[in-house]
Amino acid sequence: MKKLTLFTLISTALLALTPSQKSQALKIANTASKAYLDYLEAEILKTLKNYSMEDALMFCKTKAYPLSMKFALQMSQKFHIKIKIKRISFKNRNNSNYPNITDQPILKKLSKSQKPIVKEYGKMVVVYEPIKISNLCLLCHGTNINPQLHKIINKLYPNDKAIGYKLGDFRGAVVITIEKKGLK
Ligand code: HEC
């Protein structure tokens, strides 16, 4: 009995993140999320400037997901730790970006606090970074979408829920999963 208690104590201590691990996870997540989102925004702007709204839409459709993998790899190398990146939203465009059962209650909390949330799931540390709507986003997620563009969006995404957003609205989260064993 005594042994069991000691074992429980030790394993709990091993599982809990130290303050230093937590702040390192936050720093990695913040850097990764910002790098990914800034890059997306810059590429959308560039496409709008040099090509068209439809091309910018196709950029988001075809590149947002592969870029999340590219940035995860880049950040894994930068921080010498294995990380994954995804985007989730309750009012989503792509069906696969709807939050899973584990993510749902945290995304709800995040929509209120709008401050990064750190969670531990076994060997993984997961950080949820909020995404906000800026002016650029309104073009494809706002209340007054160009009718031509809206038609294409509806054709590509018949279940689209990612419209009707206003400036400053909570859009969803970048979820950064970090392998705990690499955190110091
Ligand atoms: C040119 C059109 C366009 C603009 C501008 C745009 N988006 Fe999107 N957005 C899309 C498309 C298309 C998807 C679906 C991507 C996919 O299929 O993976 C998407 C998906 C998303 C997702 C993933 C969740 C979901 O709904 O599937 C988030 C989060 C998101 N956009 C946030 C933003 C933010 C924040 C901005 C402004 C910085 C923005 N978007 C600007 C077209 C756009």
Report the pLDDT value the prediction gives residue 91, as an integer from 0 to 100.
Answer: 98
**Quick check: is 12 in a domain?**
no
Closest residue to atom 39 of ligand 1, CA basis: 137
Q: Which domain holds residue 30?
A: 18-182
Q: Tens digit of pLDDT per residue, the chain (184 long)?
A: 556 666 555 555 556 899 999 999 999 999 999 999 999 999 999 999 999 999 999 999 999 999 999 999 999 999 999 999 999 999 999 999 999 999 999 999 999 999 999 999 999 999 999 999 999 999 999 999 999 999 999 999 999 999 999 999 999 999 999 999 999 9
**Quick check: is 40 in a domain?**
yes
**Quick check: is 69 in a domain?**
yes
**Quick check: is 134 in a domain?**
yes
Residues in the chain: 184
178 close to 80: Cβ distance less than 8 angstroms: no
Total domains, the chain: 1
Q: Which of 59, 49, 136, 129 is nearest to 88 (CA)?
A: 129
pTM, full prediction: 0.93
Distance CA 34, CA 48 (A): 21
**Quick check: is 152 in a domain?**
yes
Distance CA 39, CA 174 (A): 14
Report the pLDDT value the prediction gives residue 7, as an integer from 0 to 100.
Answer: 58
Å from CA of 30 to ligand 1 middle: 19
90 close to 172: Cβ distance less than 8 angstroms: yes
Distance CA 142, CA 148 (A): 14
**Quick check: is 130 in a domain?**
yes
Report the pLDDT value the prediction gives residue 16, as an integer from 0 to 100.
Answer: 87
Q: What lines the ligand 1 site, CB under 6 Å?
A: 41, 44, 53, 56-57, 60-61, 64-65, 87, 89, 92-94, 97, 131, 133-134, 136-137, 139-141, 162, 171-172
Distance CA 128, CA 110 (A): 8
Copy the structure tokens of residue 23: 């702040």
% helix / strand / coil in the chain, to the nearest 5?
60, 15, 25
